[in-house]
């Protein structure tokens, strides 16, 4: 599936949920389904700067395709990174760099996060795109 198709599915899923309590529960369930990150990546080197909670992100590059794993010490934050992984993992680095992440606004996520969590969301996206940029540079 393309990034756009995955985003459209997420928008449809969030639209079905009537209120933000249900949407937070959905995000938490996505976080619980997130595959465990290998403990060797739960170090300072993989910690995303700018997040209120601790979020570790690892990128496994296979050619020009990137597979992300992550973890967080906070359930909402883990749900947020799970959404981003659902959208961007398994995609080509060039597609990740060009991805329009406006689906976040369409599901209303950013406006329902505290300012520090919203900053963390931006930091997560930036880090994923930095991994994509590094992958492109290394495959040339």
Can you name the CATH fold of 3-139? Sufe protein. Chain: A (3.90.1010)
Catalytic residue among 51, 82, 83, 85: 51
- For position 118, what pLDDT does the model report? 87
- Average predicted confidence (pLDDT) for the chain: 93
61 in catalytic set: no
Band the pLDDT of 92: cuts 50, 70, 90: very high
Band the pLDDT of 117: cuts 50, 70, 90: confident
Band the pLDDT of 140: cuts 50, 70, 90: low
Show the CA angle centred on residue 132, arms to residues 89 and 101, nearest 5°.
65
């Amino acid at each position: 599936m393309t990034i756009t198709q995955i985003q459209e599915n997420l928008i449809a899923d969030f639209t079905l949920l009537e209120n933000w309590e249900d949407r937070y529960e959905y995000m938490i369930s996505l976080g619980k389904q997130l595959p465990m990150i290998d403990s060797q990546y739960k170090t300072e080197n993989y910690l995303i700067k700018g997040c209120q909670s601790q979020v570790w992100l690892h990128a496994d590059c296979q050619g020009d395709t990137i597979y992300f794993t992550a973890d967080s010490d906070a359930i909402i934050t883990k749900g947020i990174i799970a959404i981003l992984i659902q959208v961007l993992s398994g995609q080509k680095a060039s597609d990740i760099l060009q991805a329009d992440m406006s689906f976040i606004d369409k599901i209303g996520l950013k406006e329902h996060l505290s300012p520090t969590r919203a900053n963390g969301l931006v930091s997560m996206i930036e880090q994923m795109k930095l991994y994509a940029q590094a992958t492109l540079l290394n495959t040339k």
